[in-house]
Amino acid sequence: MSHRIRFLAGVLLSWAVVCAHAQAQGPLPGVPPALVEDIVVGSHILAEFGVLDGFGHVSARDPADPSHFLMARSLAPALVTADDIMAFDQDGNPIDARGRAVFLERFIHAEIYKARPDVMAVVHAHSPSVIPFSVSKAPLRAIYHNPAFLAAGVPVWDIAQEFGATDMLVRNNDIGRSLAAALGDKAVILMRGHGDVAVGPSVKAAVYRAYYTDVDARLQAQAIALGTEVTYLTVEEGAKADATNLMVIDRIWNLWKQRVQLQTSK
């Protein structure tokens, strides 16, 4: 074998080793595939139940670098696959965009992860049932045990208070910071004339909370329409029920997951 051929074979071999290594690492080094799957499944679940439509997003804190987070490229939630999940830095800049479009409202996630070290996942939805509570004086409250996380209080954030007339979107870090400050230590915040954000200690918890916030809003409107006084969960009942719910969350998650997987296999 001539020197030249041996040299070319060596180059090809090194290149193959580099490619195999990149494949083994995956596009998101250090991120467990199960976490990526939770983001994908969570997006499909919320789309299936009409909590998310063509808009809205699910994210998770990046275990490889907890100042970073993971979310899909700009895409309707029902269409998200594992290949669409990207990493973002603490200010919401994509780590390796590779030409992919990113969500305008990624600053919601960036600023909440920065302000809340306990939060491991964030869902932003334009949940239809919730909108009336974002624009009226009726506070959203926990009407039964599944949305117990609402009993601690649900702040309403009005973008106009700090930023005047906008297109209503959280399109930069300043607006995201204002929203994160208004969320405080709560699980859910409503955004006036826009939607809501649910946070949690896991993707499953944030998805559960986004789903049951929508259900609670629907039921509360029905209870108010009955025209008599409504009895809500107290703060203490809410804290106790929320702790129980988080312990048994896999039961409902596995049911939802099976349902969306059956849908996609049809």
Interacting residues toward Zn ion by CB under 5 A: 105
105 flagged as catalytic: yes
Q: How far is the CB of 203 from Zn ion (least distance, A)?
A: 19
Q: Looking at beta carbons only, is 105 or 214 nearer to Zn ion?
A: 105
Q: Which of 105, 162, 236, 237 is catalytic?
A: 105
Tell which residue, 205, 88, 201, 196, has the closest CA to residue 146.
205
Encoded tokens for 223? 């209870």
Q: How far is the CB of 194 from Zn ion (least distance, A)?
A: 6
Q: How far is the CB of 81 from Zn ion (least distance, A)?
A: 22
Exposure of 170 by Cβ count < 10 A (0-12 exposed, 13-18 middle, 19+ buried)?
buried
What is the dihedral sign for C-alpha 136, 140, 141, 143? positive
Distance CA 199, CA 130 (A): 16
Q: How far is the CB of 15 from Zn ion (least distance, A)?
A: 43
Q: Looking at beta carbons only, is 134 or 202 nearer to Zn ion?
A: 134
Neighbour count for residue 78 (Cβ, 10 Å): 17
Edge-to-edge, what's the strand order for the sheet holding 188-191?
85-88, 69-72, 57-61, 121-125, 195-200, 188-191, 156-157
Q: Looking at beta carbons only, is 161 or 222 nearer to Zn ion?
A: 161
Q: How far is the CB of 105 from Zn ion (least distance, A)?
A: 5
Q: Looking at beta carbons only, is 148 or 180 nearer to Zn ion?
A: 180
Q: Looking at beta carbons only, is 55 or 144 nearer to Zn ion?
A: 55
Encoded tokens for 155? 């702040």
Token look-up 């960036």 returns 110
> Residue-wise over 28-41: b if at least 16 C-beta within 10 A, else e?
beebeeebbebbbb
Distance CA 243, CA 99 (A): 42
Residue nearest Zn ion, CB atom distance: 105
Residues carrying an active site annotation: 105
